[in-house]
Amino acid sequence: MNQQEFIAQLERALRQLPAAEVRDIASEYQDYFAEAIANGRSEAEFCAALGLPKQLAAEILTRSSVRISNESPVFETAEKSGFRWFRHVWHTFKQAPLIFSLLGIFTSIMGLLVANSSLARFSPIFSPLIGSLMTSLVVGLAWRFEMKKTIDFGADDVHFSRVCIRAIGFAIMWVGLSLLSDSICDLIAGRPMGLYMAEAPTGAEQTFNMLWTTFVAIGFVFAHGLIILQNQSLLTATKLSWRAARRYWSQCLMLLMLMFVSSLALVMLLITLGNLMKGMTGVEMSSEVLRMGYYAVPIFGPWIGMMYLMSYSAWAAVFRDGSMRTEVRHS
């Protein structure tokens, strides 16, 4: 074990302490390492002399004046494993499956109502706005259900109002990114810019949309947790989220890929159910029913609820339990 691994494990084991105190302890042991190396000892040798990080953390917690909760997070996350992030999404979803499913179903119905009405041209505004606000709500609920405690907004309503304003501000920024994406697609296709949905997007548009969506989703996946759970400003949350995205891009990509694979499994399930219905009743769903998409809501609603949980699980792996926990300055 080297110095970096030792300090990271020590910080992780001390996550029950305030972040500022963990930073001070980590800095203190970094000084110890520097002194040991200056005296000719290797990092591995000094790590062995200090013992296991968990044992050292237990001693520090025993001496700490801070009241430590005996409860640890129900699910042990792993910041270096995208598959563990995905498992944490599922674990959190199971804490309140009905609530998360209903939220996903509600969002699905809202999206379909807009898409199948005269408001369809405003989908680039409504969809990201509702999606971002719903993610903020789900992140707060996920914390409540997993950690079994409410969010500490401070002693008065000012902090709560500030968090709400920041969540709305982030949603508006999300709308701006959606409109920017649509404008670029219009340029690619040679269409005049405007609020309307392309009937048949070109291959170049589809490729750009896939790359853009992946890039933006990875870059901002941590932001909701930082804003809602750690009271960070919009600018600070954006900076920290992109910093984490650069460090953990492969884990973020793995999480997105696993969610995509799960969506394909649901599509196959829908096709199978449709074929079974046709075989049993001889009735085939009309193209109009297929186009409107309401039949898929009961199946895809829970999946959308899990999609919203990605932000919480990514934040938990990196900023709650991971090495970037100490980089957050509480405002």
The answer to whether residues 136 and 274 belong to one domain is: yes
In a domain, 76, yes or no: no
Indicate whether this model's pTM tops 0.85.
no
The answer to whether residues 56 and 133 belong to one domain is: no
- CA-to-CA distance for 115 and 37, rounded, in angstroms? 64
Residue 292 reports pLDDT greater than 80: no
Residue 66 reports pLDDT greater than 90: no
In a domain, 71, yes or no: no
Q: Model confidence over 171-201: pLDDT tens digits? A: 999 999 988 988 888 888 787 776 665 566 7
In a domain, 256, yes or no: yes
| Helix axes 297-315 and 123-147, enclosed angle (nearest 10) | 60
The answer to whether residues 56 and 147 belong to one domain is: no
- CA-to-CA distance for 241 and 238, rounded, in angstroms? 5
* Percent of the chain with pLDDT strictly greater than 90: 32
The answer to whether residues 144 and 29 belong to one domain is: no
In a domain, 74, yes or no: no
* Secondary structure (DSSP) of 231-278: ---HHHHHHHHHHHHHHSHHHHHHHHHHHHHHHHHHHHHHHHHHHHHH
What's the mean pLDDT in 1-28? 80
Task: Give the number of C-alpha atoms closer than 13 A to the C-alpha of residue 261, restricted to the C-beta side.
Answer: 8
In a domain, 216, yes or no: yes
The answer to whether residues 55 and 180 belong to one domain is: no
The answer to whether residues 41 and 88 belong to one domain is: no
Position 71 scores a pLDDT of 47
The answer to whether residues 148 and 219 belong to one domain is: yes
In a domain, 318, yes or no: yes
The answer to whether residues 219 and 274 belong to one domain is: yes
Cα–Cα distances (Å) from 6 to 40, 44, 57, 76, 155, in that order, read 19, 9, 11, 18, 37
What's the mean pLDDT in 305-314? 93
The answer to whether residues 241 and 173 belong to one domain is: yes
In a domain, 280, yes or no: yes
- CA-to-CA distance for 241 and 58, rounded, in angstroms? 30
- Coil vs helix vs strand at 73: coil
Burial status of residue 299 (CB atoms within 10 A of its CB: 0-12, 13-18, 19 or more): middle
Angle, CA 146 vertex, CA 316 and CA 264 arms, to 5°: 70
Report the 10 Å Cβ neighbour count for 244: 28
The answer to whether residues 28 and 135 belong to one domain is: no
The answer to whether residues 59 and 86 belong to one domain is: no
Position 157 scores a pLDDT of 59
- CA-to-CA distance for 148 and 142, rounded, in angstroms? 9
The answer to whether residues 103 and 57 belong to one domain is: no
- CA-to-CA distance for 12 and 52, rounded, in angstroms? 13
In a domain, 184, yes or no: yes
Q: Model confidence over 196-222: pLDDT tens digits? A: 655 667 788 888 988 999 999 999 999
* Percent of the chain with pLDDT strictly greater than 70: 85
* Secondary structure (DSSP) of 94-140: HHSHHHHHHHHHHHHHHHHHHHTSGGGGGHHHHHHHHHHHHHHHHHH
Report the 10 Å Cβ neighbour count for 284: 12
Residue 295 reports pLDDT greater than 70: no
Domain around 119: 82-327
Domain boundary among 16, 35, 63: 63
* Structural domains of the chain, count: 2
